[in-house]
Amino acid sequence: MAVPGTTRLLPLALVVLLGSLTWLLDRAASLPGSTVAINSDQPDMLVDKATAVRFGENGQPLSLLTAAHVSHLPAGDITWLEKPQLRYTAPDQPRLDVHGERAKSVNQGSDVWFPGVVTMVRAASGTQAELTINGRDMHVLPQAGLASSEAPAIAKMGTYVIESVGFIADSKAETLELKSKVRMSYEPIRTR
């Protein structure tokens, strides 16, 4: 037997219960998940012995990066690499290897700065001999195929040895622009 008036109160009780549950869920969803604030000046990723490969649209590897240690800073999307070794193998371009003490990568590797000692080797291609540049503080723009520095550098290509302060190396055009204080020595190949 039904209690008089309960059939009229049941829909009202269900609406109040549903409203209360909705309010509680809304409050629970808006509560902070963590009381610790994220510091964007601190690394959000640390990796030891890292290897990364970037592939082109056709599945061919374009670059290979190995580093002893990698740390990523969320502020500015900056990645620091310790003992980096970068190899760029873009199609129709000579292989380019860059080794340094440290490197700072910005914009997911589209701009890489090597503070300190760095060596860049462009593989021989066609009639061009292998080019090795030993220098400091080098900027590399991998997609453009450019490397540059304002610091003193020594370039070796075949029997040529060139010293300069500052350079721009264009891997696509296979050119080396020397900026200032250029000295060059050449030893001809001896034939018997």
For residue 162, pLDDT over 70 is answered with: yes
For the chain, the average pLDDT equals: 81
For residue 69, pLDDT over 90 is answered with: yes
For residue 36, pLDDT over 70 is answered with: no
Question: Dihedrals φ, ψ of 80, to 5°?
Answer: -100, 135
What confidence category does residue 164 fall into, taking pLDDT thresholds of 50, 70 and 90?
Answer: very high
Are 180 and 164 in contact by the 8 Å Cβ rule? The answer is: yes
| DSSP at 41 | T
Q: Per the confidence metrics, is the pTM higher than 0.85?
A: no
Domains, the chain, ranges and CATH? Answer: 45-186 (2.60.450.10)
Cα separation, 134 vs 162, whole angstroms: 11
Q: Which helix (H) or strand (E) holds 182?
A: strand 175-186
Q: State pLDDT tens for residues 86-136.
A: 888 877 778 888 899 999 988 777 788 999 999 999 888 888 888 899 999
